[in-house]
Amino acid sequence: MMDGRVTAAGFAHTTLDTPIGPLLVAATARGIVRIAFESEDFDTVRGALATRLGPPGLPGPAGLDDAIRQLGEYFAGTRTRFDLPLDLTLSGGFQEAVQRELLRIEPGHTRSYAEVAARVGNPRAVRAVGRACATNPLPVVVPCHRVLRADGGLGGYRGGLEAKRALLALEGG
């Protein structure tokens, strides 16, 4: 079920029921800026977005409708890649470099935290990659769930390990 609203701070948001639980999807005029799991507390997420993005006033961007459609197709198993404009305002520096690398991991494939660290040019930054994944503002779309420990263990996931397992299973990984 969707509950689309325009809210404070220059962003629009909606909630979407998914097989891994409700997700809050927020967008600015530039693109999708945040996807949050219910466990993060949607009110807290909206408040943080309002603080970070500024005063109210953004009508619901068309990109939000595209995101809802594409997420629905993904969870239905009819889409493997997202074609959405992303607003990386909530990221920067190393975290943004990690996010861009995560977008290169093919559906159904995984990489280790160490492999991602090496690919962003800092092979010793394995823990920093873990932090960047843990604070990824765009989970599911920016696929941090495709990053595993070197021993093949799941590691952590902002949405919980059951959600990570479900996403990997959905992708055949």
Asked if the model's pLDDT at residue 5 lies above 70, the reply is no
pTM for the structure as a whole: 0.89
What is the percent of the chain with per-residue pLDDT over 90, rounded to a whole number? 76
Confidence (pLDDT) at 55:
52
Which domains can be identified in the chain, with CATH numbers? 5-76 (3.30.160), 93-170 (1.10.10.10)
Q: Identity (one letter) of the amino acid at 167?
A: L
Closest alpha carbon to 20 in 74, 62, 92: 74
Please name the helix (run of DSSP H) or strand (run of DSSP E) that holds residue 88, with its range, or none: none
pLDDT higher for 139 or 27?
139
3-class DSSP assignment, residue 37 = strand
- Among candidate residues 144, 147, 168, 170, the one labeled active-site is 144
Asked if the model's pLDDT at residue 22 lies above 60, the reply is yes
Please check whether residue 25 is in contact with residue 33, taking contact to mean a CB–CB distance below 8 angstroms.
Answer: no
d(CA 18, CA 27): 18
pLDDT digits (tens, 9 = 90+) for 71-95: 999 999 999 999 999 999 999 899 9
Average pLDDT score over the chain: 89
Active site residue 144: yes
Closest alpha carbon to 91 in 56, 55, 141: 141
12 bridge partner residues: 6, 27
